[in-house]
Amino acid sequence: MPSDVRRKNLANIVSARVLLSFSYGFLNVLLSLYLNHLGYSLIEIGLILGGAIIISASLTFLLSMLADHFGRKLVLTILFLLFSLSSLLFLSTKDILVLVVLSGVGGFTGSGGGPIGSGGAFGAVQTALVTEFTERKEFSRILSLASALGIMAASAGSFIIYIVEAERIDVYDLFYLAGILGILGSVFSIFLKDNHIRSRHFLPNISWKNIIRLSLPTIPSGVGAGLISPIFSLWFHLRFGISSGEIGIIFGTSNLFVLLVMLVLPRIISQEFELRSIIWTRIISSVALIALALIPMLLFASILYVIRQGMQMGAVPVRQSFAMGLVDESERATTSGATSMTRTGFSAASPPVAGSLLGINVVYPPLIGGFITILDPLMYYYLFHKNFPAKKEHNKD
């Protein structure tokens, strides 16, 4: 494929992702706050988020396999239309089951968005599309650049809550803005060039062993993060009594730090050291989360949150590069979908537990979550240290 066509495709993919990340920047702050605003109890909020996560995880795995088998462009366009519809309808109902479905189908479960690779099925399909138009040696750099732009958009989305609040506009009207941006994202997706890379089988049969290995560390990551990530904005509100606009500033600042890490890390980490960087950034993230739980001062808690997010999300492009290099190119969306499904699927039970823990003591969700997530990097070392320090570009089982 000519280089100008590849660049045009990458530009369309990233442009669509920027619109989505901007939307997630405010949706993930407002979601749990809106449910609290409707009068739902902490346990009910946890159940709503848990149900939405199950739907999102299931759709992620199913749609990623459909994307590899039938075409990534088609599935991505459908995803944007579903996101738009869910956003536009979300404020029109108070029915708990409808809210669960809309949140799950739309992918706004309190923890999506940001860099390419998060955001459920969007991340799975878009990551595969980026690598589809990129040379292997450029995976980490291009994914980092694409994710950095998404993070900047997510930061802007978080900061806009403060502006809207200052103008005395109902911040929850931003759901309608998300719906409009979803339609624009589908337009960008329609103009993608389909190079007809397809998997021969609906279920992966070339790289399935490595897909399983890559999915296992996401289990403790999902369970631990699920205790706090979907309710982090509500946690800050309950812990320190701050408004949605102030929370938006903290979240926006954390995204800027994620951006810094995301831009720097791939430029100082070569391909053979990807695993090592994954392990250490995940360890630092877990330790920061544990410390965050114990800090009673807003300033220091905010700093620890920023560090935690930077280490957790900033290394996403490196992790994606590591994973995409281990599997066949025809099964990359399925790989991203499988790891996303296990992470989000196993996190589904955590929000209801987190709601109960919040009712006992606000310290418990991040504290327990931090201790559980530290198993993630330990499993990465155990499962992949034989590939370390060098790994094969493709390992077809």
Domain boundaries, the chain: 3-192+202-387
Q: How far apart are CA 106 and CA 104, in angstroms?
A: 5
Burial class (CB in 10 A: 0-12, 13-18, 19+), 386: exposed
**Spatial contact of 235 and 228, defined as CB atoms under 8 Å apart:** yes
Using 50, 70 and 90 to split pLDDT, how confident is the model at 375?
very high
Q: How far apart are CA 8 and CA 11, in angstroms?
A: 5
**Spatial contact of 245 and 102, defined as CB atoms under 8 Å apart:** no
Q: What are phi and psi of 116, to 5 degrees?
A: -60, 130
CA dihedral 20→23→27→28, nearest 10 degrees, is 50
Tell me: the pLDDT tens digits for 300-327? 999 999 999 989 887 877 887 888 778 8
CATH topology of domain 3-192+202-387: Growth Hormone; Chain: A; (1.20.1250)
Query: Which residue, among 32, 27, 174, 46, has the nearest Cα to 106 in the 3D structure?
Result: 27
Structure tokens at 255: 């995204």
* Model pLDDT, residue 97: 94
Structure tokens at 291: 């410390």
Using 50, 70 and 90 to split pLDDT, how confident is the model at 393?
very low
CA 114 to chain centroid:
6
**pTM higher than the cut 0.85:** no
Tell me: the pLDDT tens digits for 74-132? 888 999 999 999 999 999 999 999 999 999 898 887 665 555 545 567 877 887 788 78
